[in-house]
Amino acid sequence: MTEHLRNVSAAIDPVKLDRLAEVAVKVGLQLKPGQDLLLTAPVVALPLVRRVAEHAYKAGAGIVTSFFSDEELTLARYRFGQDASFDRASDWLYQGMAKAFTENTARLAIVGDNPMLLSGQDPTKVARASKANSKAYQPALEKITNFDTNWNIIAYPSPSWAKLVFPDVAEDVAVAKLAEAIFGASRVDQEDALSAWDRHNAVLRERTDWLNGQRFSALKYSGPGMDLTIGLADGHEWEGGASTAKNGITCNANIPTEEVFTTPHCRRVSGTVKSTKPLSYQGTLIDNIQVKFEEGRIVEAKASRGEEVLNKVLDTDEGARRLGEVALVPHSSPISRSGLLFYNTLFDENAASHIALGQCYSKCFIDGTKLSQQQIAAQGGNQSLIHIDWMIGAAETDIDGIRADGSSVPVFRGGEWA
């Protein structure tokens, strides 16, 4: 680690950083004795990676294997790489990851790279590289979206990310402020963070139990710029907080998390909706997204900023114009109350109710672990190379649950649980 990074990391509370590592292992993953762990992270997050490894080995981990990314190495490809290379990806690496997940290796991703890193690069090359990477990653991604193994995502406050969120303060101050925001949202600003997560998971479970008991056939959204009906997949199941993977381990996939979510029917979505927060996607800020759905498919799409990138995303494959997830988040969530735009979906999606274009989660079906891909598709589950969340909830959002007989039940009023 360079002297500069040592100085920056000194701005991060070491006690809370250690709690985050412990929560990732004991709550996020619930790592089991003898279980291997595959970990990816930006190189700047090395202090957190080391603490994760320590807690993992204390929990009885078999082997902890780390893969690191670096912003300068990423930019070097766009500056000096051969044009043909942008249609390729390291499929051998992802095939190895898929094999590891098949053999019960746990997955931890630490995010923290500058979300706008590629903003100055050729958007066509960015799109090509993204598509190639999505195709190569598919074998490993299927193991994650099918919830074959326990997995978790947490965040580390890199200097480049911190300066994006807090541009008007010195770098070390920005890092400290982003660190505290991450710690607060991740509930590790409390001394007994493990108990805090137990309580939070209990609240999310109450909400999913209620929704699953209602057996709504659709959700009807209304509010400014919104007149949207989202049909729910046949045999859908709501999830939120801790969930049990196919390997029998109950884990929290996202830290932080405020959402309860399920699978929409990819052919039963109609109406119009616009985004309520910007979407940061591979170096582009896509703002004021407005789309129109017909028979589940986006037939019109525009944005005040980043429209070209949005349309490239929608053209990724047939499933990219259909929904793979619908999630409910109250407007009063801690991340919403912070007033911050994190430029990172892990956080921003927990500030507002949202929808996701692309691939669905098989775990959001009754007995989803036993269903084939063909059965999931027949019940309305979407398939795609992408899964991109964007926010549609606000303080004015009303949501009604529609039953099969056409009757309705208030679910959200004024952005809050009804």
228 and 173, same domain (yes or no): no
148 and 260, same domain (yes or no): no
**Cα distance between residue 25 and residue 38, in whole Å:** 12
> What's the pTM?
0.89
Whether residue 286 is predicted with pLDDT greater than 80 in this model: the reply is: yes
Q: Give residue-wise pLDDT tens across range 294-311.
A: 999 999 999 999 999 999
CB 228 within 8 A of CB 296: no
Q: Give residue-wise pLDDT tens across range 246-282.
A: 999 999 999 999 999 999 999 999 999 999 999 988 8
Interval 330-342 mean pLDDT: 93
* Bigger pLDDT: 146 vs 340: 340
Interval 347-352 mean pLDDT: 93
Domain annotation covers residue 412:
yes
Give the pLDDT of residue 195: 97
DSSP 113: S
9 and 87, same domain (yes or no): yes
176 and 228, same domain (yes or no): no
Whether residue 293 is predicted with pLDDT greater than 60 in this model: the reply is: yes
Rg (CA), the chain: 20
Give the pLDDT of residue 291: 98
Interval 93-120 mean pLDDT: 95
Whether residue 120 is predicted with pLDDT greater than 80 in this model: the reply is: yes
Q: 87-91, 131-135, 327-331: which range is least confident on average? A: 131-135
Domain annotation covers residue 206:
no
Give the pLDDT of residue 9: 75
Host domain of residue 49:
3-185
Give the pLDDT of residue 31: 98
Domain holding 15: CATH number? Answer: 3.40.1830.10
100 and 221, same domain (yes or no): no
172 and 240, same domain (yes or no): no
Interval 220-233 mean pLDDT: 96
CB 210 within 8 A of CB 401: no
Domain annotation covers residue 204:
no
Interval 186-211 mean pLDDT: 97
30 and 163, same domain (yes or no): yes
178 and 223, same domain (yes or no): no
Provide DSSP, 278-329: -EEETTEEEBS-EEEEETTEEEEEE-SBSHHHHHHHHTSSGGGGSEEEEEE-
Domain annotation covers residue 7:
yes
Give the pLDDT of residue 376: 95
Give the pLDDT of residue 1: 57
Q: Give residue-wise pLDDT tens across range 3-40.
A: 666 666 788 999 999 999 999 999 999 999 999 999 99
180 and 324, same domain (yes or no): no
Interval 229-238 mean pLDDT: 98
Confidence of residue 145 (pLDDT cuts 50, 70, 90): confident
Domain annotation covers residue 198:
no
Share of the chain above pLDDT 90, in %: 89
**Domain final position from 185, 207, 240:** 185
Tally the domains of the chain: 2
Query: Any bridge partners for residue 151, and if so which?
Result: 107
CB 61 within 8 A of CB 36: yes
Confidence of residue 362 (pLDDT cuts 50, 70, 90): confident
CB 187 within 8 A of CB 201: no
Give the pLDDT of residue 282: 80
230 and 175, same domain (yes or no): no
CB 400 within 8 A of CB 217: no
Domain annotation covers residue 201:
no
Give the pLDDT of residue 3: 62
**Cα distance between residue 36 and residue 51, in whole Å:** 16
371 and 233, same domain (yes or no): yes
**Domain final position from 138, 170, 185:** 185
Domain annotation covers residue 192:
no
Whether residue 371 is predicted with pLDDT greater than 70 in this model: the reply is: yes
Whether residue 364 is predicted with pLDDT greater than 90 in this model: the reply is: yes
What strand order describes the sheet that includes 323-328? 260-262, 323-328, 354-358, 387-391
Whether residue 411 is predicted with pLDDT greater than 80 in this model: the reply is: yes
Give the pLDDT of residue 239: 95
The single residue listed with the structure tokens 């896509």 is: 286
260 and 354, same domain (yes or no): yes
Give the pLDDT of residue 254: 95
Contacts of 174 (CB under 8 A, 6+ apart): 159, 162, 163, 165, 166, 167
Give the pLDDT of residue 127: 87
C-alpha distances (whole Å) from 265 to each of 33, 173, 358, 376, 385 are 39, 45, 12, 10, 17
The token pair at 344 is: 């990172």
Domain annotation covers residue 210:
no
